[in-house]
Amino acid sequence: MESGKKISVIVPCFNEEEGLATFNQTLIQFIPKSYAYEIIYINDGSKDNTFQVILSLAQDNPNIRYISFSRNFGHQNALKAGYDFATGDCAISLDADLQHPPAVIPELIRKWEEGFEIVNTIRNDHQSISYAKKMSSGLFYKLMKSLSDVNIENGMADFRLIDKKVLKQLKLFPENFLFFRGIIPWMGFKQTTVTFVANERFAGTTKYTFRKMLKFASTGLTAFSVKPLRISIYLGSVIAVLSFSYGLYAVYTHLFTDRAVTGWTSMIISVLFIGGINLLMLGIIGEYLGKLFIENKRRPNYLISETNIKV
């Protein structure tokens, strides 16, 4: 039975040639037949044959759309492109490596049919995820929770469903440093959460290198919180008070005792300490300033080199 509604599925792909055809097959199998659908593959500057695989999939299936970037713009920007061009009554985003199991899609859709406008998912950590990844993501979410005012839960994934109402609002977000896991909970609307167990990566290797993860974490923190700046003020004040007291003590020692000659050790320690803290604070300010600088240019989030979507 056709419901007359359409589902958009958004899939960012970066060097996913090995697993993509299988992914596509599995995905289609789990889209309820009562809905029309479109799948938007975003080729995020892959260096392998991912784009050729997408082209051949699109040739066989008129519901497949593609957007190919001029270079690698990163996962979040690829998601943004998907959200920008999605035309469905709701949009579901998921990874191309089958770690976000398409088998969960019917459940997301059921929640949407019940009236939820955003259906988030949380990864239920599993052996398939490396210990290092579990630790680093656990630490990140803890930091994020204590530093920012948005409620981001541990293991929140970029696997979610959003209604077209939310999609319409999301298209209005002009920011360059995107962090959807923060933006989406911040948006409000009727939200709910579904948990899933992540599979092992079906093919290929992780595209989130340590560097990309650090960049992502820094974006998440600085895009959602000015608390690090405030912390530098607090820390700065405490240290200023301590230094001042120590200064008074030094003056006292000099004037009223005869112990004033030594002191090289304490001198060097305090100089190094104050210097270190100073650099740290400057670094925090620099991070925000740098982001402001780039954001201020208003450059597009991505450049498209090829697409079969008519704009």
Place of tokens 């112990």: 259
Q: CB 99 → Mg ion: shortest distance, Å?
A: 4
C-alpha dist (Å) from residue 233 to 23, 144, 276: 49, 19, 15
Site membership for Mg ion, residue 137 (CB under 5 A): no
Indicate which of Mg ion, ligand UDP, none lies near residue 96 (CB less than 5 to 8 Å, by partner kind).
ligand UDP
Task: Tell me which H or E stretch contains 295.
Answer: helix 264-296
Ramachandran class of 4: left when φ > 0, alpha when ψ lies in -120 to 50, beta otherwise: left
Angstrom distance (rounded) from CA 40 to CA 9: 6
Ramachandran class of 74: left when φ > 0, alpha when ψ lies in -120 to 50, beta otherwise: left
- Distance in angstroms between the alpha carbons of the first and the last residue of the chain: 31
Choice between 220 and 228, CB closer to ligand UDP: 220
Site membership for Mg ion, residue 15 (CB under 5 A): no
Sign, CA dihedral 48-54-57-58, equals negative
- From 97, 117, 158, 163, residue interacting with Mg ion (rule: CB under 5 A): 97
The residues that touch ligand UDP, with contacts defined as CB under 6 A, are 12-14, 16, 44, 72, 74-75, 78, 95-97, 99, 206-208
DSSP-derived pairing of the beta strands 160-163 and 90-93: antiparallel
Indicate which of Mg ion, ligand UDP, none lies near residue 225 (CB less than 5 to 8 Å, by partner kind).
none
Nearest to 95 by CA among 178, 26, 164, 162: 26
Q: CB 96 → ligand UDP: shortest distance, Å?
A: 4
Place of tokens 């030594």: 262
Choice between 46 and 232, CB closer to ligand UDP: 46
Residues touching Mg ion, count (CB under 5 A): 3
Choice between 204 and 236, CB closer to Mg ion: 204
Site membership for Mg ion, residue 158 (CB under 5 A): no
Cβ-Cβ contacts under 8 Å for 221 (sequence gap 6 or more)? 143, 144, 147, 148, 228
Q: CB 206 → ligand UDP: shortest distance, Å?
A: 3
Q: CB 227 → ligand UDP: shortest distance, Å?
A: 26
User: Could you tell me which residues are beta bridge partners of residue 19?
Assistant: none
Q: CB 288 → ligand UDP: shortest distance, Å?
A: 24
Q: CB 132 → ligand UDP: shortest distance, Å?
A: 11
Neighbours of 86 (CB within 10 A): 26
Q: CB 95 → Mg ion: shortest distance, Å?
A: 5
Site membership for Mg ion, residue 99 (CB under 5 A): yes
Give the interface segment with Mg ion, choosing from 89-97, 103-111, 171-179, 262-270 (CB under 5 A): 89-97
Choice between 116 and 302, CB closer to ligand UDP: 302
Indicate which of Mg ion, ligand UDP, none lies near residue 208 (CB less than 5 to 8 Å, by partner kind).
ligand UDP
Indicate which of Mg ion, ligand UDP, none lies near residue 74 (CB less than 5 to 8 Å, by partner kind).
ligand UDP
Angstrom distance (rounded) from CA 185 to CA 26: 29
Contact call for residues 22 and 97 (beta carbons, < 8 A)? no
Q: Which spans of this chain sit near Mg ion (rule: CB under 5 A)?
A: 95, 97, 99
